[in-house]
């Protein structure tokens, strides 16, 4: 029980420090406060702080050297696919610049989805295609009835996993897993901006194209449908960033 409580505290400290790093709220040198000071600030033992720092170091967000203070790695060098969400916690101009990374994430997700669905449509047997058609139906149905909590987001990634199996692309299955973990890291910011209507539309169209084995329509018409979903989110975030930055003073 004591171990679980310590792990929970370490996780909270890790999250706080992660956001502090992403917002650029560290010393200009990049140094984090000493372990002893952090322990006093959070009211925990130094061992708990050390555990949080080890977690950050394992994710490549800080550097630790014996006898020296932990130092934040510049976020642009530290980010991985699964930590893109960290960039969205930045404020002002830094956040506006880092939205470009989110655009890159969406682009990778679109390319993965189209590539897997096209290949499955082209090469999967009728039996292999059945679970994919079912996944399209489940996504469309979820997007129709669950717009509030947006649980259909999980069904979208489930569809991509099924597509990876139907397309016989085990490496892409792993990529979809990473894409979903990355999304979970940004869900607090991104998920409230998602709208169900475009998702219903592309999942319904995809089901028709798969049923009729219309590979060309999938390849040509699915990308703009997916792009419409992503551009809506990016547009909302760019507008919010512009308000956060505020007007520029004349030079």
Length of the chain (residues): 251
pLDDT for the residue numbered 251: 32
Q: Do 44 and 7 touch, CB atoms closer than 8 A?
A: no
Which of residues 52, 78, 104 is at a domain's end?
78
The mean pLDDT value for 185-201 works out to 89
For residues 144 and 92, membership in a common domain is answered with yes
CATH number at residue 36: 1.10.10.10
237 or 205, greater pLDDT: 205
The mean pLDDT value for 27-45 works out to 88
For residues 133 and 29, membership in a common domain is answered with no
Give the whole-angstrom CA distance, residue 166 versus residue 130: 9
The mean pLDDT value for 170-179 works out to 94
Helix (H) or strand (E) holding 62: strand 62-63
Q: Give 144-184 as a DSSP string.
A: HH-TTT-THHHHHHHHHHHHHHHTT-HHHHHHHHHHHHHHH
Give the whole-angstrom CA distance, residue 29 versus residue 40: 22
pLDDT for the residue numbered 248: 39
Residue 247 confidence (pLDDT) above 50: no
Q: What is the pLDDT of residues 91-132, one digit of tens each?
A: 655 566 678 888 889 999 999 999 999 999 999 999 999 999
The domain of 65 spans: 2-78
Q: CA 193 from chain center: how many Å?
A: 14
pLDDT for the residue numbered 15: 83
Residue 23 DSSP one-character state:
T
For residues 204 and 98, membership in a common domain is answered with yes
pLDDT for the residue numbered 75: 63
Residue 38 confidence (pLDDT) above 80: yes
For residues 51 and 102, membership in a common domain is answered with no
Give the whole-angstrom CA distance, residue 116 versus residue 161: 9
In a domain, residue 73? The reply is yes
């Amino acid at each position: 029980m004591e171990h679980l409580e310590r792990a929970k505290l370490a996780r909270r400290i890790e999250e706080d420090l992660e956001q502090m790093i992403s917002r650029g709220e560290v010393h200009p040198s990049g140094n984090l406060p000493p372990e002893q000071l952090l322990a006093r600030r959070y009211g925990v033992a130094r061992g708990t702080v050390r555990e949080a720092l080890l977690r950050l170091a394992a994710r490549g967000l800080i550097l630790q050297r014996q006898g020296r203070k932990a130092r934040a790695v510049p976020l642009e060098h530290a980010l991985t696919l699964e930590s893109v969400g960290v960039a969205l916690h930045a404020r002002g101009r830094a956040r506006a610049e880092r939205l470009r990374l989110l655009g890159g994430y969406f682009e990778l997700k679109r390319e993965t989805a189209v590539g897997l669905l096209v290949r499955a449509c082209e090469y999967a047997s009728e039996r292999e295609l059945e679970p994919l058609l079912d996944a399209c139906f489940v996504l469309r149905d979820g997007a129709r009835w669950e717009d509030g909590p947006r649980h259909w987001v999980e069904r979208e990634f489930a569809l991509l996993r099924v597509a990876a199996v139907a397309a016989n692309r085990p490496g892409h299955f792993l990529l979809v897993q990473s894409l979903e973990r990355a999304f979970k890291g940004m869900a607090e910011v991104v998920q409230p901006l998602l709208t169900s209507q475009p998702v219903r539309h592309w999942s319904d169209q995809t089901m028709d194209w798969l049923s009729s084995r219309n590979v060309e329509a999938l390849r040509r018409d699915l990308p703009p449908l997916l792009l419409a979903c992503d551009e809506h989110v990016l547009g909302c975030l760019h507008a919010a960033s512009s308000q956060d930055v505020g007007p520029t003073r004349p030079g």
